[in-house]
Structure 1
């Protein structure tokens, strides 16, 4: 959990992040992200607005201390403090939220005792932020990650950061970026790609009988020509960046035969 607190917190976030922070009402959250100047996704996160002076980012995969250090370089004279909220635990469970619903989260102005509705077409899920120790269940964590991928939420490991544009990751499905708000790093490339219809690739959900490795994806009909790349893996499922007109496959990823699976809806906020 990363906090942005101060008189310029909202203005700073609006200028740095790819989603429309100004459109977010207090007590609600959205998917958002931070891009390189070339429009590549550095990190994805849930952005929570408590009020104009207090925002929190829930990082899924980015290393928090490095993220804070990199983002802090752009504060300059803005009146805000960016900090990694240590001493907190984040846990998820496969069940409905008691008080949170949709984009409306439940909790105080601090990052303690927050509850977010992570449900979608794959069923109800609840994310909670507390000060207590989170349960350690690797099996449930793997199932959670697979559910993220099934809904089109890519989990970007360190080697994938800075590799993909929002369009290549189909982040329009999550309403995670804006092409209409003011400038932010990478905005010109994102907007040009959108308005000129230059998006040629997007996410495809793949499934296999065995674990899918990261790396290039090939069509059996053209095994010497790379068709795309696996961007995120969860056991026997993966999200690959492939041409929009790629069809249903089959595909080969690291020699593993894969089939196309339907992306689930309902995780947009």
Structure 2
């Protein structure tokens, strides 16, 4: 089975750190060279345009790994906010995402071939030209690390993707797009959809981006699936009204909820 692919976005220049910090939800300025963090780019209404892993490989060089979506469109849209900032935005060719060896949690490095490794402690995520397999997906589903299908882009608010838990939004670093909505949800709560991992039971596979309809109502969306394991798992955003039900019937498939992730 071919591996997942993406394109990275590189920000370089003396204003790269400030530009990234002004646009992204995380506190980019605290990121040390050789480290990575979760982040996201929100629209003015607080909806998640992109979920990102951001690595700082030099004082003035940041590599953004979009977890789903079109990096070229994302880079073009980011470019509209450069104005007089001294920052250059480049997009890579198509790269493969695959499992990597154990590497310090939060550490980031790039080898001579240009392969980026993002440490997760007992494993790592590799992004490079060489193909691999999607064995990392099961681990990311178990940890609540979403990869967004096109149908989810621009539709979900940060609590639905557990972004505060990941540190992908920070409320003490100054303004960023969508901050007002994200902060309101943080301080007042009230969002009724959250991230959940589930085991798939039944003969019909679900599709990434598929709307989950339960009793005729829209109850959530499928984000990603592990199609390799004998016991397939999936990561979904699910309405909180379903939180008390361990097994959900969805057409000819069933979902057995394993974990619910905090906002």
1:128 aligns with one of 122, 126, 129: 126
Contact 1:150–1:264 (CA under 8 A) maintained in structure 2: no
Deviation of 1:71 after TM superposition, in Å, equals 0.9
TM-score by length of 2: 0.83
* 2:120 equivalent in structure 1: 118
Structure 2: gaps (5+ residues):
1-7
1:257 is paired with a residue whose SS is: strand
2-structure distance, mates of 1:156, 1:187: 21
Q: In the alignment, is the contact (CA less than 8 A) between 2:162 and 2:261 conserved in 1?
A: no
Number of residue pairs matched by the alignment: 246
Rounded to whole Å, the distance in 2 between the matches of 1:85 and 1:226 is: 37
CA contact (8 A) 2:26 2:38 kept: yes
TM-score by length of 1: 0.81
Question: Could you give the per-residue CA deviations for residues 31-75 of structure 1, whole angstroms, max 9, x where no partner exists?
Answer: 111111111111112101134421111223221211111111111
Change (3 A) 1:187 1:81: same
Partner of 1:153: helix, strand, or coil?
Answer: coil
Tell me the secondary structure at the aligned position of residue 93 of structure 1: strand
Q: CA deviation at 1:127?
A: 2.7
State which of 212, 219, 222 in structure 2 corresponds to 1:216.
212
Corresponding residue of 1:85: 92
Deviation at 1:196, TM superposition (A): 1.1
Q: Is the 8 A contact 1:31 1:45 kept in 2?
A: yes
Distance 1:32 1:81, change over 3 A: same
Runs of 4+ in structure 1 over 6 Å off: none
Change over 3 Å in CA distance of 1:250–1:209 after alignment to 2: closer
Choose the corresponding residue for 1:96, options 102, 105, 122.
102
Deviation at 1:215, TM superposition (A): 1.4
Does the 8 Å CA contact 2:211/2:219 hold for their aligned counterparts?
Answer: no
The 8 Å contact of residues 211 and 218 in structure 2, kept in 1 or not, is answered as no
Given the superposition, is the C-alpha separation of residues 94 and 76 from structure 1 closer, same or farther in structure 2, using an over 3 Å criterion? closer
Structure 2 match to 1:159? 151
Residues 147/264 of structure 1: CA separation in 2 closer, same or farther (3 Å cut)? farther
**Residue of structure 1 aligned with 2:179, choices 181, 187, 193:** 187
Residue 237 of structure 1: which of 233, 236, 240 is its match? Answer: 233
Equivalent-residue separation in structure 1 for 2:165 and 2:115 (angstroms): 28
Displacement after TM superposition at 1:2 (Å): 1.1
Report what 2:4 is aligned to.
Answer: none
Q: What is the match of residue 45 of structure 2? A: 38
Alignment match, 1:252: 249
111 and 35 in structure 1: CA distance in 2 versus 1, 3 angstrom threshold: farther
Instruction: Kindly state the Cα deviation for residue 94 of structure 1 after the two structures are TM-superposed.
Output: 5.2
CA contact (8 A) 2:67 2:146 kept: no
The answer (yes or no) to whether the contact 1:145–1:155 under 8 Å persists in 2 is no
Alignment counterpart, residue 207 of structure 1, candidates 185, 199, 207: 199
Distance (Å, rounded) in 1 between the aligned partners of 2:41 and 2:239:
24
Report the Cα offset of residue 145 of structure 1: 2.3
Tell me the equivalent position of 2:259.
262
Q: Is the 8 A contact 2:100 2:117 kept in 1?
A: no
Work out the CA distance in 2 between the residues paired with 1:84 and 1:242: 33
